Structure 1
Amino acid sequence: MACLPAHLMDSPPRGAPRDGLDDEQSSPSFASPESSNPSNAMSSCNPLKRPTPDGEQYADFVGRKRHLKAMDFQDLKEFSRLSGQQQSISIYALLLKSNETVNSITPMEAVHHISAALEGRIERAAFLVLADPATPVYVQKGVPVGRVTDYLEKHGLTPEIKNDNSKFPLYKKRSGLRLTHYRNVTKELIGESRGTARDPGEAVPPGDATRKDAVDVLNLTQQILHLGLKAAPDLKLSLPLVARVAWLRWAYQARVATKGEAAPGYWEFVDAQLAEIRTLKKGDIEAMSRTFGRFLNDDFALYGSAFVEDLSTVAPTTLDDDE
């Protein structure tokens, strides 16, 4: 049945008397302005108007709109069924639990940074390990890293840092990285310094090296020292150092002969050869130096001669006596 406007409802037919009054008389109207407005009256009985959804329906709507996970979706719907007081209690309990979780979080400790001064000491020590003609070990057993950290203890590394397991490993790691860097670059220089082999049957001109385009040992040693120009600018050429470099180049060529041009495991091979020499010479440093010196003549023949007579016979600054 269609709804009639309010001003037409319960109205007598046109022309009919109204409670004894004729058409020209009318009683006062007590209807409100809203009830006399046709649009308001129509809306009050509009059968198409949707009812307000209940809490669970709204929770379903919000959950889908926010793309909640299934478990969270179900929790939201269950929450919507609670009374207002129950919802307030649940929210407060959640806040208490959140506060408990926040209080239980342990703040992350500040990251420890190596000071610029100790960073410079690490750089210097790592290079001195490489450039020391008496270095006993280059890679094995963590000895090189230990030498660097021992050096740091004499130059600013405090006992507090040394005994702190959250800080000291940082210094060991940094020392190892710089040692590896200097070893890798030195190996690369040695490999490139060898030049190329002559063609089969090619005669070697008088006074020339057996290999073509090779770098003589004196220049090779200078190239290696240049790697530490910033870390150890005071380090000078010496005959013991040049002899050690000549021996290192011999070891490289020996490794290439058995393992290929890339010389894999080169520094491990060097350490093994050093161990044999120490055993043979019973740890006598001077005797070992003379052994390395004998490799100079072979190096001159293979890669070119160099004038080394004016070089100091005293070893350069080493890690043990560096101040």
Structure 2
Amino acid sequence: MSRKRPAEDYADFARSAARCVRLKQDDEKEVVKFSKLDSTQQQILLYASIRSLSEKTTQLVPAEPVFTISQVLESRMERYAFTVLISPSCNVYVTDPGPSKVILTHLENHPEWGLTPAVRSTKGHFKIVESTVRKYLTTRRNLLKSLMRVSLGYEKTGGPDRKNAMQNIVTLCEAVVNSAPSSLPKTPKISLQMLARFAFLRQVLEECITKNATSGNKEDYWATVDTSLKKLRENRPTDKEMSRFFTHVLELDSKQYGTGERSHILNETRPLDGLADDDAI
């Protein structure tokens, strides 16, 4: 009677292989168990594992394709961040939904620029668009604030010490329009309304700088501007009352900082949308 040849023990080899690929201890034990199965059992177990892996693969959700904002769309964002914030009719500078909502709505109305319905309906893509608009608005607000600080005799950033000559409102507004992004086809014209608006903006800035120096607090300048404008609209509900207020602010500014040459200043504000809507890129 012939004896059945004992199966070879591959346990040591299994452990060595598992450690070679740095499996965890529990996984190493499973490899050792697998090595003790006969060939038929191993094939069945391998097939079952492959089937399980196949099921899991079909359940994988593919990642969204990488979304890149087109140069045309980004150019429009940059333009509108500028034109919206320098407009004398800007009602809100930073408070939600604020200027970002104005810009996004306008871009949606011109899908040929890149903010298509497909982009709008894809959550991840639209978030990128929103964050890019906010980025341009933040950059523009910071630049405007720096220009106003310089016009008041301060450094672009820093404390309440005046280190430079103060500028009249015309010089300030010339610096503002000349800071337009290169993507804007034409430089905006300065109007009396723009002079009055920036006279108001730097009046609030001067008050914030003085208050922060006195109290030691860090009052949010643009939020303070929004609050002040809201109170103005509540207390002066008509266009005539608002116009009278801003005229008075401009007069006070001119007395304090000088008038400047105004022969080239427009009497009425021209719409700034046309500049940003221009097809020139």
Report the TM range for the smaller structure's normalisation: 0.7 to 0.9
Asked if structure 1 preserves the Cα contact closer than 8 Å seen for 2:169 and 2:195, the reply is: yes
CA distance in 1: counterparts of 2:205 and 2:217, whole angstroms: 9
Asked if structure 2 preserves the Cα contact closer than 8 Å seen for 1:122 and 1:175, the reply is: yes
Asked if structure 2 preserves the Cα contact closer than 8 Å seen for 1:235 and 1:317, the reply is: no
Partner of 1:114: helix, strand, or coil? Answer: coil
Asked if structure 1 preserves the Cα contact closer than 8 Å seen for 2:152 and 2:167, the reply is: yes
Change (3 A) 1:263 1:221: farther
Which residue in 1 is equivalent to 2:192?
239
TM-score by length of structure 1 reads 0.71
The partner residue of 2:107 within 129, 152, 161 is 152
Which residue in 2 is equivalent to 1:227?
179
**Are 1:182 and 2:140 an aligned pair?**
yes
Aligned-pair CA distance for 1:255: 1.1
Aligned-pair CA distance for 1:190: 1.1
Structure 2: gaps spanning 5 or more residues = 1-7, 155-161
Change (3 A) 1:120 1:62: closer
Which residue in 1 is equivalent to 2:128?
170
Q: Which digits, 9 at most, give the CA deviation of each residue in 1:79-133, with x for residues without a partner?
A: 1111121112222222222222222212122233333222222222211111111
Paired letter, 2:237: K
TM-score by length of structure 2 reads 0.80
Quick one: percent identity of the two aligned structures? 28
Change (3 A) 1:165 1:68: closer
CA distance in 2: counterparts of 1:108 and 1:212, whole angstroms: 54
Aligned-pair CA distance for 1:305: 3.6
Which residue in 2 is equivalent to 1:291?
245
Tell which structure's C-alpha radius of gyration is larger: 1
Which residue in 2 is equivalent to 1:194?
152
CA distance in 2: counterparts of 1:307 and 1:316, whole angstroms: 20
CA distance in 1: counterparts of 2:253 and 2:118, whole angstroms: 48
Change (3 A) 1:99 1:239: same
Which residue in 2 is equivalent to 1:306?
260
Which residue in 1 is equivalent to 2:3?
none
Asked if structure 2 preserves the Cα contact closer than 8 Å seen for 1:133 and 1:244, the reply is: yes
**Are 1:68 and 2:20 an aligned pair?**
no
Q: 218-227 or 160-169: which moved more? A: 160-169
Which residue in 1 is equivalent to 2:54?
99
Paired letter, 1:293: T
Partner of 1:151: helix, strand, or coil? Answer: helix
**Are 1:256 and 2:209 an aligned pair?**
yes
Partner of 1:57: helix, strand, or coil? Answer: helix
CA distance in 1: counterparts of 2:276 and 2:50, whole angstroms: 62
Partner of 2:167: helix, strand, or coil? Answer: coil
Q: 295-304 or 241-250: which moved more? A: 295-304
Which residue in 1 is equivalent to 2:5?
none
Aligned-pair CA distance for 1:69: 1.4
Which residue in 2 is equivalent to 1:36?
none
Paired letter, 1:307: E
RMSD: 2.7
1:106-117 counterparts in 2 under 5 A? Answer: 106-117=61-72
Aligned-pair CA distance for 1:314: 1.0
**Are 1:131 and 2:86 an aligned pair?**
yes
CA distance in 2: counterparts of 1:70 and 1:313, whole angstroms: 82
Q: 228-237 or 243-252: which moved more? A: 228-237
